Chains A and B, each alone.
Chain A
Amino acid sequence: MDNSGKKNNRRDFLFTATYAVGAVGLGATIWPFIDQMNPDSSVKALATTEVDISQIEPGKTVTVLWRGKPVFIKRRTQSEISEAQSVNLDELKHPEKDQDRVKKAEWLVMMGICTHLGCVPLSDKGEYNGWFCPCHGSHYDSSGRIRKGPAPTNMEVPKYAFIDDNTIKIG
């Protein structure tokens, strides 16, 4: 009795161990096949872009490509800045101070992508003197904040830094 019980246990243990080790191996095998779809090292190496902004006139927006997506760099005029700063936060769907969205008041840098479904909004259009998304009619103000329409949040500000007065590094 005792003996056969022990034997059974050992058999169960052997099968369990085989299954467990086999499962670990299967899991480890699957990972490379999943990870190969993640950004590869040549894509990751392009994760930052440097932009020369010295040629941008006040009031103009340039669009640069970063990680395959458009980034708006707008040199705002004094009136646009004061308009953006004077908005009452209570009126906003996604309350954010203009000061928190820029590093230098003159320069607005943000992802040129509507937060609704990913279209690229048009510059200097819409009811709030900012951007207008033609896909589903979202209006953004001169700080890129959502004011009207289906988009849920303000346009996103990417990670960026001023390398010097004339150069921005995005990413």
Chain B
Amino acid sequence: MERVSSLAGAITEPLQAHRRLLAAATFALLGLVDILVFARFAGHSQATFALSLPDAQITVPSLHVPAAPTAYALGAVSLAAAVARAVREPSQRLRRWLIAVVLLCFVISLLCWADAGKIPLNLVNLLQSTVAFSIPLVLGALAGCLCERSGVINIAIEGQLLMGAFGSAIVASAFGTLWLGLLTGSLAGGLIGVLLAVFAIRYLVDQVILGVVLNVLASGLTGYLYDRALVPFQNTLNSPTTFPAVKVPLLGDIPILGPIFFDSTVFLYLSYALIIAVQVGLFSTRWGLRARAVGEHPVAADTVGINVLATRYRNVILGGLIAGIGGAWLTLGSVGSFGKDMSSGMGYIALAALVFGRWTPLGAVAAALLFGFTSALQSIMATLNVPIPSNILLMAPYVATIVAVAGLVGRGRAPRADGKPYVTS
């Protein structure tokens, strides 16, 4: 990763102009898709977007828009953004806004086209599942954030999610207690965290390889046990129920926002707490300052009396515990039973969210929401019978990940000592 960024850096001067044109071309391309594909094929019908759920206390009227003209207009906006981008290098803030606007135009055009002349598309529903799909990504990214901020690369988020899903399913099913299942899921993720910590910190194993190995281990172990135990004893070991959705009084009744943010399972509320805890913890407490110092310049931390290795152990294991909760969501918050390799790359997407979010908790959360949105979009598109093969739709989150990390990340900087073992002479 370091090499890539230095390579990218070495050619920056000519790249500035290059990059500017590339960005403008991308904007223009998206704008043209808005116009030539979405607007053109939308026909003359209306797209209808519902803004409240069927059981809402206060209903908000649905939005009816003429599909084709809207897509044309949004395409024009994108083209204007492309021109603006090509003319002059804007400030960083403006650059980000332009990206956001163009992407938003693209998504709305897409929705207009997909829903043109069909049953109303429920936007609240779409965003509600965005938030839900984001939970494991958010928790995984927070786990990665804790690890990497203290200087240990965590590729094993995937394995932590999987172990969390597995452990929580079995225990919740066997004991019939969801909370015990949640706790076990967290501990199972923590167990991978312990392995990661011991081998990375104590035995100085290359952390990228180690992470991949742990993922393979988690996949193999849960897969084997699934075949041997969960399939034959499906009813006792692999049929936990799921946590019920709990609506927050008052807040949950706010139109549009209520159902999205305040009417969900305990996982969402736990995520809120953890996001705040990690953000405040890392940047406003003694523990966080020390952890970040350890991740940036462990020798300096050592010379002022901070125990580098202990700090890393603590953070890596804490990260594992958090990722394990994300794993528990897969079974206890979503599907309701364990399936082989059910994390399906979410750990890697969480890692991408961390990088995309520049190693900050809030940035990672924003990135996770973006990836969650593509997942939600994909599942809703599938129900609308759009003429796109479902396999291609399923790729959407991963394509978005690659584009985001490769193209849009820009100058994010990993903690300086990230991935470097600390050895005292």
Determine if chain A interacts with chain B: no
